[in-house]
Structure 1
């Protein structure tokens, strides 16, 4: 397989910090980059989590709580205590 040259520009401090870490791991920068590329191919994506704060989980939780509150009001149980709700569930299971 033919080799391909990849050139990229990075901040010098970033490069130096990365080289220092890779030296401690016993690999050089080109090997580390090659490892990243191989792992990306194997995983068919970036080989580490890339995310912003997951607001979707928060939004989903808020939506679920609002929906539960709406259903509780709709069924007349919004003012019940947890003990009362558990008693109702227990009675329904008998």
Structure 2
């Protein structure tokens, strides 16, 4: 796949603040921009939110959100409590 150079101008203060945020998220600017372009094309829209305060939220709440996303992705988010308990009982056998 051919690579191309994309350049743009931005306010220096915003660039510096963005770099600080990306550092806290473990990313650099080029990686972030490549990720954004790839996801934008794949999902045909802006599909995600990355905020520092989400990374620092309560671990229990974060785990429940992750579990909810996994359930939705696997089309099991509408299981009843009885169905969930039956699955657990079967897994414990």
When normalised by structure 2's length, the TM-score is: 0.48
Looking at CA atoms only, which structure, 1 or 2, has the larger radius of gyration? 1
Which structure is higher in RCO with an 8 Å CA cutoff and minimum separation 6?
2
